[in-house]
Amino acid sequence: MAGFYTFNTRAMVSSFCPHSILSQDALRCLSSESQALVIPSHQRGISGNADDVISFTVEGRFRNHRGFAAHHRQEAPLYNSALRALACLCLAAPLAAQRANPRESLLVPSSWLATHLNDQNLIVVHVGDRAEYEKGHVPGARFVPFDAISVSDRTGAGLNLEMLPADKLRESLASFGISNDSRIVVTYDSTRVTQGTRLVFTLDYAGLGDHTSLLDGGVVAWKRDGRALTTDVPAAKTGTLAALTLKPIVVTADFVQSHVKRAGTSVVDGRALAFYDGTQTGGGRGAPHKTGHVAGAKSVPFTELTDVQSFLFKSPSQLSALFATAGVAPTDTIVGYCHIGQQATAMLFAARTLGHPVLLYDGSFEDWSRRDLPVETAKKP
């Protein structure tokens, strides 16, 4: 058939693409006896009809690319184009896999962390109660106080748990050893998953989200899996961080008002159901919040996201069901809020594991109430 060529892609990929940039899926593909990689010829700069393709058969052991088997007269002109095509596949495979299953990059089990604990660029950070941290934490974990990564107005006149300015945030993150090339894992003690997800969200906001993960189940899961804790505190270390380019994932009340009824967007309340439906009223240092929820908002309580016994995040199918029941479409962008911007991050984290784009209304219901904006309560039977 015109436009079909067969090459030994194992040899070509092994000589061109280091294993360090190949995804496990790509390696499995290369390990099979007979797989085809089909590439449209017009995309690779090869002459021929638009419907022509080049088919590469995976066969034989890894060997020098000069030993590849070519079965067409035009093998020499095609060789460089084929290498370029395969290089693109090598580089794209890990990124495509991450986009296809974001949960695998966002949420890591204790087994993964134990295996990578001594990696040179790994930084483990711990949030929660300092006393709990001092009793025992994951080896190498650095304690991060919440007031080091956020700002709160203690007078009651302002808002609580707001993002730091970019320069202050960069300085703070670097003080915990975080650099531009760090692989970051966030752990948390006891049941403080929302503190963990708030830090994950903050790191994403700082532009470091692509290499940040949460330890599934936190320290509880680490201990349950039989892994040792330590009371040793790692030596102080300052990371190297360039000026931050903040990711535009924090929004205001005006944005919420203009998007709450917009197709393709779901404004979701992450608080416990009692606050959403109005049977309980929240409050802060300044004054009680309004009763109910942002008019038009949906509800996915943070209390429903993890298993009550294992503290692990629920399965993708279970999480998908929670969002679907709330009326969130699979492709919706989710704008989350809660009392002050912490609990909502757990809900947004769960949404990210399902592939949703997410935004945080950081002022949350504290800000909404002070602005005296429209609220409603759940309809009673």
Question: Model confidence over 74-116: pLDDT tens digits?
Answer: 444 444 444 444 444 444 444 444 456 899 999 999 999 999 9
Provide the percentage of residues in the chain whose pLDDT is more than 90: 66
Place of tokens 């010829």: 41
User: What pLDDT does 156 receive?
Assistant: 72
According to the 3-state scheme, what is the secondary structure of 301-359? CHHHCECCCCCCECCHHHHHHHHHHCCCCCCCEEEEECCCCCHHHHHHHHHHHCCCCEE
Q: What is the mean pLDDT of residues 220-234?
A: 97
User: What pLDDT does 190 receive?
Assistant: 82
Q: Is 51 left (phi over 0), alpha (psi -120 to 50) or beta?
A: alpha
Fold matches, 104-224 and 250-376 = yes
Picking from 337, 351, 331, the residue whose alpha carbon sits closest to that of residue 295 is: 337
CATH of domain 250-376: 3.40.250.10
Give yes or no for residue 298 having a pLDDT over 70: yes
CA distance readout (Å), 20 to 8, 101, 104: 21, 19, 18
User: What pLDDT does 63 receive?
Assistant: 31
Give yes or no for residue 49 having a pLDDT over 70: no
In this structure, the number of other CB atoms found within 10 A of the CB of residue 372 comes to 8
What tens digit of pLDDT does each residue of 7-28 get?
344 333 333 333 333 333 333 3
Mean pLDDT, the chain, as a whole number?
80
**Pairing mode, strands 358-361 and 250-251:** parallel
Report DSSP state, residue 160. S
User: What pLDDT does 100 receive?
Assistant: 65
Give yes or no for residue 6 having a pLDDT over 90: no
User: What pLDDT does 34 receive?
Assistant: 34
CA distance readout (Å), 273 to 159, 298, 303, 357: 23, 11, 9, 23
Q: How confident is the model at residue 243 (pLDDT cuts 50, 70, 90)?
A: very high
Structure tokens at 199: 């830090």
Give yes or no for residue 32 having a pLDDT over 50: no
Give yes or no for residue 285 having a pLDDT over 90: no
In this structure, the number of other CB atoms found within 10 A of the CB of residue 170 comes to 20
User: What pLDDT does 118 receive?
Assistant: 95
Q: What is the mean pLDDT of residues 294-320?
A: 96
Give yes or no for residue 199 having a pLDDT over 90: yes
Domain residue limits, the chain:
9-100, 104-224, 250-376
Q: What is the mean pLDDT of residues 241-252?
A: 97
CA distance readout (Å), 360 to 37, 158, 196, 202, 252: 41, 18, 15, 10, 9
Q: What is the mean pLDDT of residues 182-211?
A: 96
User: What pLDDT does 30 receive?
Assistant: 37
Give yes or no for residue 354 having a pLDDT over 90: yes
Q: How confident is the model at residue 179 (pLDDT cuts 50, 70, 90)?
A: very high
User: What pLDDT does 286 receive?
Assistant: 67
Helix (H) or strand (E) holding 266: strand 265-269
User: What pLDDT does 287 receive?
Assistant: 81
CATH of domain 104-224: 3.40.250.10
- Find all residues with CB under 8 Å of 267, minimum gap 6, and list them: 256, 259, 260, 294, 296, 297, 298, 334, 335, 336, 337, 361
Report DSSP state, residue 66. G
CA distance readout (Å), 200 to 142, 164, 196, 359: 15, 15, 6, 13
Give yes or no for residue 57 having a pLDDT over 70: no
Residue with the bigger pLDDT between 4 and 184: it is 184
Burial of 287 (C-beta count, 10 Å sphere; 0-12/13-18/19+)? exposed
| Angle 188-190-194 from CA coordinates, rounded to 5° | 55
User: What pLDDT does 93 receive?
Assistant: 45
User: What pLDDT does 71 receive?
Assistant: 39
Task: Kindly report whether the global pTM for this prediction surpasses the value 0.85.
Answer: no
Q: What is the mean pLDDT of residues 179-200?
A: 95
User: What pLDDT does 99 receive?
Assistant: 52
